[in-house]
A and B are shown apart, each in its own frame.
Chain A
């Protein structure tokens, strides 16, 4: 029988991640340049170009690499209490990571036991995790014979089996066909509700982040450039601040007169033939101005929406690079 070790819970209101001046260098290469942030949320996207420091941050949070500064995960010090952190965190790696000769059930049971669960509990939870991941019929097959999609699912199951409070998912939709990708994202979205665990999703796929994340952390050149909600990301910053006053307007007719009226009212108007206008309102004005000018010029507005920056545009803005040309 395993000996008794009580799991000490972190303060309930502690942020998922508390980073204070976290620094890490590999020789002359600075991987993390004094990262400071508090990160909370249910599904958090960790974004950044290659070499931004995402993997290094992940290693620091799992206590796999020594670092300067203070990194806390679930209120626990990532360096000094790394084993307690790893008991409470699940990690789904990007690359293949399994054990030769083991079936999915054996792999997940083994994973649970390594995380300290008693064997019977580990086995029970292995079946449940594989069932949840949609591998109930294939769970007695060896993992090395699995397709890419099945391997992704078993990686998710092994990350879940020990009942983590926080999941790190590294590119979980890599190599998946569109349907398998949808299924995986559904699972990831479902996890916080059904299992109460938070998720940090490291990915390059902005549509995935847009679809399932409520918070986003953007890293670039070893620093966190943005941490907040996706809405804040879209609206935040000087460019987006201005974008909040920009509307995409589609009208039925009379665009010439409408554009003239808007210009006289102090709006900057960009015409998008045949019947669309991009209108930047003057300071202090709101969308009411658009309706007033439409009425005054006899134009009929068919469609009106704030011209939100796309996630990709917002991401490019944060990392300070121009949007790549298609």
Chain B
């Protein structure tokens, strides 16, 4: 742009109007159907600022990945495998550590959702951002898609990236080709569990964030839901002797899905909780995701209808 018009004085009031020069934009515009991607990019880049919101927990996820990777490596020793076989595990310990790792990644995903996701829509409501969005070619669907995908990418740094890296590492630990082929099958399983958990965590946290324009309140609701409601569900499942009831706890549903998909059951071992069944875990994650999407949709539509202007 030319600077010819810089500091041009304007008209009669004498107030200086600064201008870097102006040319009408005659280029092409991004198709309306892809503008949700701009929201995705914004959601991720906003979360990435500062240390406490995302970076710290991504580092935590990396440490957890390494922390699980070390015992996976050590467990390849024949002596340890023999010991484990004698205490009754019918699977390789390195394989069993993969679904086991989800309880750590789920904890990190919970923190990530609390710091980066559970206040996201609330902050938009508080700042009046819906006027900003909907006076542009942004549909409520674009907004939802942008927020859900953006939040899922944030949560995926814990709940999907770490498990996927571990499953690839597991392939690298294979001693021979016979071990490689079954290990390859672990990758899509880890991806499935990680993706299902990621979407559920992101959507539910976003749904809570849409309930109020006070980010602290919505984050508190998410934390209360995760810890109190989840803890109560786990307690009730123990008291009532119903393993599937514990699938109402989001992290237990992820763990139950992981153990179910890997067909590994550690509950027989001392110190391990009974995990919910595969069907109950699937159903729980699906229901939570569906309910979260419905809440989010209703709240976003309401915000859109509230629309522009005052008088």
Contacts and interface: CB of A to CB of B under 8 A. Distances in A.
Contacts of B5: 194
A248 interface: no
Interface stretch (B122-130, B250-258, B260-268, B283-291): B122-130
Nearest to B128: A97
Contact of B135 (A4, A62, A128): A62
Contact of B311 (A51, A82, A124, A196): A51
A299 interface: no
Interface stretch (B24-32, B91-99, B219-227): B24-32
Contact of A86 (B10, B123, B135, B309): B135
A110 interface: yes
Interface residues of A, number: 66
Given A86-B136, A132-B20, A158-B132, A96 B309 contact: no
Interface string A82-120: 111011000101111111111000000011011111100
A228 interface: no
B165 to A, nearest CB: 29
A58 B135 CA distance: 10
Contact of B38 (A87, A113, A136, A202): A113
A170 B310 CA distance: 9
B137 A54 contact: no
A5 B24 contact: no
Interface string A72-84: 0000000000111
A6 interface: yes
Interface in A6-25: 6-7
A98 B135 contact: no
Contacts of A117: 25, 27, 29-30
Contacts of B38: 110, 113-114
B133 interface: yes
B72 to A, nearest CB: 38
Contacts of A116: 29-32, 35, 137
A272 interface: no
A250 interface: no
A36 to B, nearest CB: 22
Given A97-B132, A115-B29, A117-B29, A124 B1 contact: yes
B242 interface: no
Given A65-B307, A93-B309, A131 B19 contact: yes
Contact of B17 (A4, A114, A187): A187
Interface string B25-64: 1011111101100110010001001000000000000000
Given A114-B39, A115-B29, 13 more contacts: A54-B309, A59-B308, A64-B135, A86-B136, A93-B309, A97-B132, A98-B132, A115-B136, A128-B20, A144-B127, A187-B17, A194-B5, A204-B311
20 contacts: A2-B30, A5-B30, A54-B309, A55-B311, A91-B135, A99-B42, A99-B46, A99-B123, A100-B126, A111-B136, A114-B39, A114-B138, A116-B29, A117-B29, A117-B30, A128-B22, A132-B17, A132-B18, A183-B15, A187-B17
**Closest 4 pairs between A and B when the two form their complex, measured CB to CB:** A116-B29, A55-B309, A91-B135, A2-B30
Interface of A: 2-7, 50-52, 54-55, 58-59, 62, 64-65, 82-84, 86-87, 91, 93-102, 110-111, 113-118, 121, 124-125, 127-128, 131-132, 134, 136, 144, 158, 162-163, 170, 182-183, 185-187, 189-190, 194-196, 202, 204
